[in-house]
Every structure is written in structure tokens, then in C-alpha cells.
Amino acid sequence: MTRYKIELQYLGKNYHGWQKQPNVHSVQAEIEGKLFQVLQTEVEVVGCGRTDTGVHASHYVAHFDFEKSIDCAKIKNSLNRLLPPDISITHLVEISNDFHARFSAVSREYKYYIDFEKNAFRSDLAWIIKLELNFEPLVKSCEIIKNHSNFSAFCKAKTIKNSYKCIIYEAKWEHTDTGLVFTVKANRFLRNMVRAMVGTLIEVGTEKINLQEFQYILNSGKRSDAGKSVPAHGLFLTKVEY
């Protein structure tokens, strides 16, 4: 068997995330279906991780195994002709069999976009808010995040305690032409973690809670103490590193 790595982009609006599930439309199912048409053989496409319903990816990585050697450029072009406009294959290459799209990844980066004014071209790509945000505590809250490792307060599904630990390599807020963008990079992410984190940070920015209370929420580990999850359509998976 030969292993192939796929790099792709997708808009999440029309999909219930990456993961294939019964009776719903997913990115994984869409790609596997088109690969079957091209290769005339069923293959399983393994992704670098799940994304929530409606979340986008400007850089997503997956792999599949196939018993024959293929012309990667030809297969890539065939897939792009068959796939809907909101999914695009950017790279398809043969790779060593010890590569794994999920387990070989050393970091993932997400960005969350916030706009302050309605924009017809960005309505599905950013969360529009009319709140006044104090930028200084938002910046300071990122230092608190980077010095923390247990993020159960931002985890939707409670599992074993060790699974809550993440190493945050980067967390920052930046101004954009239309609003703000929050960037966070880590070795791994918990389910719903970024959206819950941003929702809580918004409470810091509006001064509903102060930095000490934000630190308390992280230390408590209780999802009920944290803010609401922000809408999925502002969130992008932007980089996966190996």
C-alpha cells in the first residue's frame, strides 16, 4: 500500500464538520465519495482532526492509502473538478507510510475573526458584533492563556482528566481592517475549546469579567464558569504543522 497526503481548504457552512457521520453532510464523506469515483475503489481518508459544524479550514491535512501508484497531479485535478466549489484540494503527494495526518501533527493553529460592521462578503466568514471591546485586557489575557495548561473550562465534553492538557505556543489578538482576529496555536485542542475561549475573552474585552476572574475560570476548570461559545462561522483552522 502507498500512502498519500492531501492538503485542502473548505468553507464549513454546508457541512457538519470534517468527520463522517450518519445522515449528515461532512467534508470527509464528500472527499471519500469523489475519490471512489476517480479511483473506482473505496478508500478511507484520515483527517488531522475534527472541526465543528460550520467551522472553516484554510489549511487542512489528511491522508489515504491506495494499493496502486497514482499520478498525483492528475488525481488532484480530477478531484477538484468533481468536488463542490466550497472544497478545494491544494496539494496531493505520495508520502512515507509512517506519516499520519492526525498523530504526526506537532501543532495546529486557529484564527477567529470578529467584524464590527456588517459586510455582505464576510457574513459567513466572521462574527459581527456591536460591542465595545477594551483591547488592553484582551492582550493581557493572552499571557494568562500561554501560562496555563489545563483547559477543561473550555471543553464541551468531559472525559479523563489528562485529556484537558494542552500546550499553548501562541495566543494573540490583532486588529484587522474590519475588526479583530484572535490567533491561537497549540499542540492539541479540546472539543469546542477555541469557541469557548473566545466567548470568555469577549467578556474580558467588554469588562464583564476582569483578568483575575478570567484566571479563576481557568483554574476552576468548570465549563459553567466560562463564557458562551461564539458562533462557528468566524473560526478557521489555518495551519497544521508536522
- How buried is 126 (Cβ within 10 angstroms: 0-12 exposed, 13-18 middle, 19+ buried)? buried
d(CA 121, CA 77): 28
Say if residue 183 is in the same domain as residue 204: yes
- Residue 39 grid cell: 479511483
Q: In this predicted structure, what is the pLDDT of residue 144?
A: 97
Q: What angle do CA 48, 2, 186 make, to 5 degrees?
A: 20
Sign of CA dihedral 90, 122, 83, 55: positive
Say if residue 197 is in the same domain as residue 137: yes
CATH number (domain holding residue 28): 3.30.70.580
Q: How confident is the model at residue 163 (pLDDT cuts 50, 70, 90)?
A: confident
Active-site residue (options: 52, 65, 86, 115):
52
Angle subtended by helix axes 193-205 and 135-146, to nearest 10: 140
Q: Please name the amino acid found at residue 61.
A: V
Say if residue 198 is in the same domain as residue 144: yes
**pTM greater than the 0.85 cutoff:** yes
d(CA 129, CA 179): 9
Task: Work out how many domains the chain is built from and give that number.
Answer: 2
Q: In this predicted structure, what is the pLDDT of residue 134?
A: 96
Active site residue 52: yes
Which residue range forms the structural domain that includes residue 69? 2-95
Q: In this predicted structure, what is the pLDDT of residue 230?
A: 97
Q: In this predicted structure, what is the pLDDT of residue 156?
A: 78
Residue 101 lies in a domain: no
Q: Please name the amino acid found at residue 121.
A: F
> Where do the H-state alpha helices sit in the chain?
27-39, 72-82, 135-146, 193-205, 211-220
